[in-house]
Chains A and B, each alone.
Chain A
Amino acid sequence: NAGVTQTPKFRVLKTGQSMTLLCAQDMNHEYMYWYRQDPGMGLRLIHYSVGEGTTAKGEVPDGYNVSRLKKQNFLLGLESAAPSQTSVYFCASSLLAGSDTQYFGPGTRLTVL
């Protein structure tokens, strides 16, 4: 039982490049989330999903897109990376609604030059 996994662990992009971050969970959770964590800002919710085929905007969705084609996977895309998107990205999942206990992945450290 791996829990929540994220790939890649590290990535460096140039401004304007695109990339996709993959999150996978093997706990059969309905709800999945993408957060970013910046120094002094805590965790901020980017997008979330309440089930397969659904997505919704969080607190800071601009510049990101997401997809949840399979229940176990939640993809975060950056179509045209900007230096302001330099951050650590965390994926999380929960069995019940968002206020339930969330299980986090190890994070992806992204640098945009």
Chain B
Amino acid sequence: SQQGEEDPQALSIQEGENATMNCSYKTSINNLQWYRQNSGRGLVHLILIRSNEREKHSGRLRVTLDTSKKSSSLLITASRAADTASYFCATGSGGSNYKLTFGKGTLLTVNP
């Protein structure tokens, strides 16, 4: 069953605008990751935030994590047409649960 659920399912913006995607999950996690998938390609890791972190930055990406609300958000600032892709959140759990659980993704379209 899916752990993370992204919202919205699809988002269309103009180049230069900011894009915000949200992810909610149900059980406790060790970390939460965001991946990007361009059409017809494999997933590419963007950023990992651990359960004891609240915010993390990487270039134009900003990720927040609120463990009390079991939610995360991914902000892409000053979007570009090349940011057009599907974005997935994935939650990681520790112990013997050696796997990531992926959400269904948000399709972001950035119009030139």
Structural contact, A40 and B104, CB atoms closer than 8 A: yes
Structural contact, A99 and B45, CB atoms closer than 8 A: no
Query: Is B78's beta carbon under 8 Å from chain A?
Result: no
Known: A33-B99, A58-B99, A100-B92. A42 touches B42 (CB 8 A): no
Pick the residue among A35, A40, A41, A98 that contacts B98 (CB under 8 A): A98
Chain B residues near A (Cβ < 8 Å): 1-2, 30-31, 33, 35, 40-45, 48, 88, 90, 92-94, 97-105
Question: Closest A-chain residue to B30, C-beta based?
Answer: A99
Structural contact, B102 and A90, CB atoms closer than 8 A: no
Pick the residue among B42, B90, B99, B104 that contacts A41 (CB under 8 A): B104
Chain A residues near B (Cβ < 8 Å): 4, 31, 33, 35, 40-45, 48, 50, 56, 58-59, 90, 92, 97-107
Question: Closest A-chain residue to B103, C-beta based?
Answer: A42
Give min CB distance, A23 to chain B, whole Å.
11
Give min CB distance, B50 to chain A, whole Å.
10
- Residue of A43, A44, A59, A90 with highest tally of chain B CB at under 10 A: A43
Chain B residues with CB under 8 A of A35: 102
Known: A58-B99, A99-B100. A90 touches B93 (CB 8 A): no
Chain B residues with CB under 8 A of A101: 33, 45, 48
Chain A residues with CB under 8 A of B35: 104
Structural contact, A90 and B42, CB atoms closer than 8 A: yes
Chain B residues with CB under 8 A of A50: 98
A-B contact pairs, 16 of them (CB 8 A): A41-B104, A42-B104, A43-B88, A43-B102, A48-B99, A97-B94, A98-B97, A98-B100, A99-B30, A99-B93, A99-B97, A101-B33, A101-B48, A104-B42, A107-B41, A107-B42
How many Å lie between the Cα of A35 and that of B2 in the bound state? 13
How many Å lie between the Cα of A4 and that of B44 in the bound state? 12
Give min CB distance, B89 to chain A, whole Å.
10
Structural contact, B43 and A99, CB atoms closer than 8 A: no
How many Å lie between the Cα of A100 and that of B90 in the bound state? 10
Chain A residues with CB under 8 A of B48: 101
Structural contact, B45 and A103, CB atoms closer than 8 A: yes
